[in-house]
Amino acid sequence: MSEFFRSPLSAEALEQLYYLHDGVGIIGPITGAKLKEMIESGAVARGSNVNLVGAPGWTPLDQTGFIAFLKGDGPENRAAPISSVPLSGARSSAPRYAGFWIRLGAYAIDYALTVLLVGLAGAIFAIVSVSFFGADRTEAFLNENSLVVDLIGTVIALGYCGYFCGGPWQATPGKRICGIHIVRTDGKRLDAPFAILRNFGYLASSLPLFFGFLMIFWTDESKALHDMILGTRVVYGKL
């Protein structure tokens, strides 16, 4: 039997990461220990659903080992059933961490999309600039301000990452297409500033010779160097 379904839960199960759906919204990822505290305090109702990070679906709270921590069984301890979130009978004892190749594939998709966005922004700028200042002045400006142009491209790329990874998906479109997303080991959700900071962490993983990225091959939980520095993991599943 999976540790997720044992009662009482093991210490290992309390260290893993979970999402909680209370019939209103999704909370997490949070550690099993934090979820236990929430249940014991009465903040979690019996009708809630739990998802072990990396597992493909939701499981009713009263079908997991967490039910042992629930106090009381009155109407006030019942949440409305979930209608918008699919339930699954799939059971997993641990998150499925995304390996090197699936993450590389997601990066390739994101790179292509970012290039398209930067190209589109450049085309719009060129059309507007030529219309107002003429082709010669536009060309001269671009030649004299190449660093500014590069900076604008970088800002677009960072904004792309911050917007999507800091949003409901907790993943870029590339990661979303590949069925993976980012989680934090402290149980907090990514916001845009943290997602952008994580992107800067790629610099540490790139030097020397992309060694920090290659660490995904042999580290437990498939961690890159920037994952270790910032306390993140990449797992299978969509939010």
pLDDT given at position 84: 39
Tokens of 28: 């997490």
CATH number 2.60.120 given to 3-77: no
pLDDT for residue 23? 66
Q: What is the pLDDT of residue 174?
A: 97
The rounded distance, in Å, linking the Cα atoms of 25 and 82 is 9
Which pLDDT does position 43 carry in this prediction? 81
Distance spanning both ends of the chain, measured CA to CA? 26
pLDDT tens string, the chain, 239 residues long: the values are 455 555 567 788 888 888 888 766 678 778 888 888 888 888 887 788 888 876 767 788 888 888 888 765 444 444 444 333 343 333 344 568 999 999 999 999 999 999 999 999 888 888 888 888 788 888 887 787 778 778 888 999 999 999 999 998 999 999 999 999 998 877 678 899 999 999 999 999 998 889 999 999 999 889 999 999 998 999 998 87
What's the pLDDT at 94? 55
Residue 201, phi-psi category: left (phi > 0), alpha (psi -120 to 50), beta (remainder): alpha
Rounded to whole angstroms, what are the CA distances from 23 to 73, 85, 141, 170? 17, 9, 55, 20
* Per-domain boundaries in the chain: 3-77, 100-236
**Stated pTM of the model:** 0.63
Alpha-carbon gap, residue 7 to 62, rounded angstroms: 11
Q: What is the pLDDT of residue 138?
A: 80
